[in-house]
Structures are given as C-alpha cells and as structure tokens.
Amino acid sequence: RISPEAPVPIVSVNKRENRLGGAANVALNVKALGANPILCSVVGHDQKGQEFIELLQKQKMDTQGIVQSAERITTTKFRVIGNKVQMLRVDEEVDLPLNEKDKVEFLTRFDKIIETGKVDVIIFQDYDKGLINEHLINMVVSKANDLKIPVAVDPKKRNFIAYKNVTLFKPNLKELKEGLNIEFNSKAADELNRAADKLKSLLKTEIVLLTLSEDGVFIDYKDNGEKSTKIIPSNVRSISDVSGAGDTVISVAALCLALKTDPAVLAAVSNLAGGLVCEKVGVVPVDKQRLLKEVIKLIRE
C-alpha cells in the first residue's frame, strides 16, 4: 500500500539477510564452480566489516587478502525486495583512494598470495571504489605476465584505459562507450568490430568479451593468429533480477582462461551463466549443476 505521509510504498519487513556482494560475489561464483578463490579487498574496521569476514568464513573462503581499514566504512548495499521485485536500494560507501598505510598492507598481502605459486588466474573486479588505481594495475599485471598467469578484467570508467596488456577485458556496452568516448550501433556487427579493434589497439588485450545485455555477448580474439569475432545471442529466460550477472560472466570467463578453454567456448559458457543468475532475485552465485545441464544441451544442439 502507499504511505499517507508521502507517495511511497509501505513495506512490512518479514525477513532480513546478509549476502556477499561486489567482488565477493565473483569469489562466490568461482567457489560455486569448484575452484578456490582468494579475495583481495579492503573493508572497514567496523561491524559490517566483521560481518563480511564472518560471511566469508561461513562460506569456507580464504580471508588472508582482506584488509580492515580504520579510515573507511564497509561498502553496503541495502535492498528492499517485495514480491520478488527490487523496490529500493540504499548505498553506504566511501570511494576515495586508499591511504598509504592501507595500500602497503594490501600490496604486502597480495604479494604473499601470488608468491605461493598456486594462482591460476587473476580477476580485476573494478567498481571505482578507490582500491584499484593505475599503479596497482601496472604492478599486478606485470607480475602476472612474468609468471604467465592470465588476467581477466571487469572494468569501470575511472581506470578503463589503464588495463593494458591483460588477457581478457570484459566491459558492457555502456562502459565501452564511456571508456572510449565513442557512440556506435551495437546491433551492427561491423560497428561492434570497429569498437573492439579500437579497444584492442589501445589496451593490447588478447580477448575482448563484450556483454550486450539481452542481445548476448560479443567476443573478439585470435584464432590461429587470425582475427575472429562472434556474437552469441542470449537464451530466452524469465528475468527476475540482473544484479550480479556481470560478476558471474567474469567468473566463468576467468576460470575458462585458467583451463585454456577455446575463446568461443568461453564466450558461450559465460553467456549461459550470466543468463541463469538473472532468473534469481538478488545477488546470487551460479548453480554449477544447472550450468552444466545447459552446456550439455548447447553441445547437443
């Protein structure tokens, strides 16, 4: 019903739950698919930060990459959901750059993790919240390339053109247009190709995986040294919530990189996974068994 105080809905609370989101949702997806993620991030030295770490521990996820900062609050997104529909979202966050102390602690933890020799792929899940900057990107990508570890990126505007020499770059249409400051018709294959060429020329990335919302994904890669592109349409689905779909796509794409999967297959499986999570309300990881069934169905077709 509508409030008599203002033209807004009244919501009766019958359940509250805390879920991991943002880069932690990427880690959840990676774990759900059978791999062992190590999340590297910064949270606040506050109640929400402690709850975040406890949620990671509950999921049996490694917390050695998590820095608790006294200078920041933990990013929190409060969603009001009624009848399986999101009605409101309230954000609490700080997006200022890290202070020097937190930077040093973060890099020290990252170095310790990567020096174990047990890292198969690195994912940059960028939300423009102040942790990731050009210096961090250059340092991580350089180390990864020296160790021959593939790097997958889900970018945002602030650092868009800083991600040079990575393995896979996965923007959505809005991010690509803003990042390159261009406008093009996403329905036209030749215009998609030109945009991807411009991006690859600028960033020297090996693979461009562009998500096209309801139109599926576009991939640009080298096949036996020759440029190859594909548009993979999305499946018809009952969409409940698109929250976290991009997290799922980059998670699956990164694991495919670690397994040296053919890029065309990588794109197809990532596309399926992103569609599956849109059928669920809220930020949730992909269901491994459902994804497997869909992949088998795709192969048989």
Per residue in 148-204, pLDDT (tens digit) is 999 999 999 999 999 999 999 999 999 999 999 999 998 888 999 999 999 999 999
Q: Which of 25, 21, 14, 29 is nearest to 288 (CA)?
A: 29
70 alpha carbon, distance to own chain's centre: 26
C-alpha angle 14-20-26 in degrees, rounded to nearest 5: 140
Per residue in 227-285, pLDDT (tens digit) is 999 999 877 555 554 556 788 899 999 999 999 999 999 999 999 888 787 666 556 67
Architecture (CATH level 2) of domain 23-300: 3-Layer(aba) Sandwich (3.40)
Beta strands 122-125 and 151-154, pairing class? parallel
Residues 6+ apart with CB under 8 A from 108: none
Taking residues 206-232, what's their average pLDDT?
92
Catalytic residue set: 247
- What is the rounded distance in angstroms from the CA atom of residue 47 to the CA atom of residue 41? 17
Taking residues 118-130, what's their average pLDDT?
96
Angle at which helices 245-258 and 263-277 cross, to 10° = 150
Residues 6+ apart with CB under 8 A from 124: 132, 137, 140, 151, 152, 153, 154, 155, 163, 166
Q: Ramachandran region of residue 259, left (φ > 0), alpha (ψ -120 to 50) or beta?
A: alpha
Sequence ranges of the domains in the chain: 23-300
Amino acid at 122: I
**pLDDT score of 107:** 95
**pLDDT score of 233:** 87
Beta strands 41-44 and 226-232, pairing class? unpaired
Amino acid at 169: F
CB atoms within 10 A of CB 58: 10
Q: Give SS3 for 79.
A: strand
Taking residues 107-126, what's their average pLDDT?
96
**pLDDT score of 242:** 54
> Are residues 203 and 164 in contact, defined by beta-carbon separation less than 8 angstroms?
yes
